Every structure is written in structure tokens, then in C-alpha cells.
Amino acid sequence: MSLRLGDDAPNFQADTSIGKIDFYDYLGDSWGVLFSHPADYTPVCTTELGRTAALKGEFDKRNVKVLALSVDSAESHLGWINDINETQNTTVEFPIIADPDRVVSGLYDMIHPNASATLTVRSLFVISPDKKVKLIITYPASTGRNFNEVLRVIDSLQLTADYSVATPADWQDGEDVVVGGNIKTEDIPEKFPKGHKIIKPYLRMTPQPNK
């Protein structure tokens, strides 16, 4: 069964590069990013994990905890982390889940048989503090992720969770946002005192409310 947006993120217990964890306990009250890799010692994955480690400060300031997953063993992960740190000039501190029996991969539908019967595709899940799936992005094994986009979407998810707004195409943190369709035009000044612009009756823009 595939996960869909709004579903509860399945909990699990697993061995990782930092020891055994319970997924929910690890996340606590934080947001989470869980993303899968086809295998250890693969070139694209090495760059992805290095990039994630380099962005630790960006994830921290957004209250996001990161976990990676590979179908190889925790012992294999430790050797691979040494290579990642060396080649990407960084330090991997987040856990890499060992999933040799494909248990977590199955829970999160990370194996797509038409792509590979045994290797995970590049799935990425953003999970809110109430343990709901808020974003699913799936890349083929041959294409590395854009982590600037991952951060951009997290900014949008956190903003829209707190305010009745949506973010337009190519939005970046700090730019104008769309007033939610559930807000009556006459109520906009009270809810969004920074001002607003009516482009069409259904398209109302306002400055980002938390900036």
C-alpha cells in the first residue's frame, strides 16, 4: 500500500549508523526528512549525503531532523560515512538506517519493481511534528536530489501550517504569498495588516506574514 499526503507516517524501529532508534522517538517534536538511497558506496548517494551534512545548520534552524536509508548494513554505513566525509569535506552526523530486510523500504513504498526489484528509488518524505506525511518526492536512481528545493518546500510547509496562505510558483522565503481561498476579501486587512493586492477575485497577494 502506497503512502499518500496526509497519511500517518509509519513508525518503525531500526538499526542505524548511530545505533538502534525508534523513528517517532527520534523525531520528537521536530519536523523530519526521511530519504532513501539505492545502496552504499554509490556515487550520486555519496554527493547527496555530503550535501545534506553540509546543510545541517539550515535543517537545524527549521527544527528538522534528517534520516537517510540504505538497504545495506549499519557496519557498511560506517565505512561509507568515512568516504562521504573525506570526499565531500563534511561530517555526517545524522543516522543512516540499515534496511537489509527491506522492512522500512516496504512501509514507505521505496522499492518500485519496474525500476529495480531490490534497490530503493530516491524517495524523500517530509513529516510534520504530528507525524503526518506532508511531502513525497520520488526521483529515479540515476538523478540526484535538489536540496535547495527540499529546504524551499519545508519553508512553504511550515509557513502554510501557521497561516491561511499558499505559496505561488517559484516562491522563495520572504516573497509575497497567496491569501487562502477561505479568507473573504473584506477580512484580509484584519488578518494580513501588511497590505494586499487583488489581481483577480480568486488571486489575492500579501507580504509573507511572518517576515
- The answer to whether residue 118 scores a pLDDT higher than 70 is no
Q: What pLDDT is attached to residue 82?
A: 97
- Tell me the average pLDDT across 1-8: 87
Q: What pLDDT is attached to residue 117?
A: 46
Catalytic residues: 45
pTM over 0.75: yes
- Topology (CATH level 3) of domain 13-145: Glutaredoxin (3.40.30)
- The answer to whether residue 1 scores a pLDDT higher than 60 is no
Segment 18-42, tens digit of pLDDT? 999 999 999 999 999 999 888 899 9
d(CA 45, CA 144): 7
- Tell me the average pLDDT across 194-202: 96
The mean pLDDT value of the chain amounts to 93
Greater confidence, 179 or 143?
Answer: 179
Residues 6+ positions from 11 with CB-CB distance below 8 Å: 22, 23, 24, 131
In the chain, domain spans: 13-145, 163-206
d(CA 192, CA 179): 9
Q: Give just the sign of the alpha carbon dihedral 180, 154, 108, 7.
A: negative
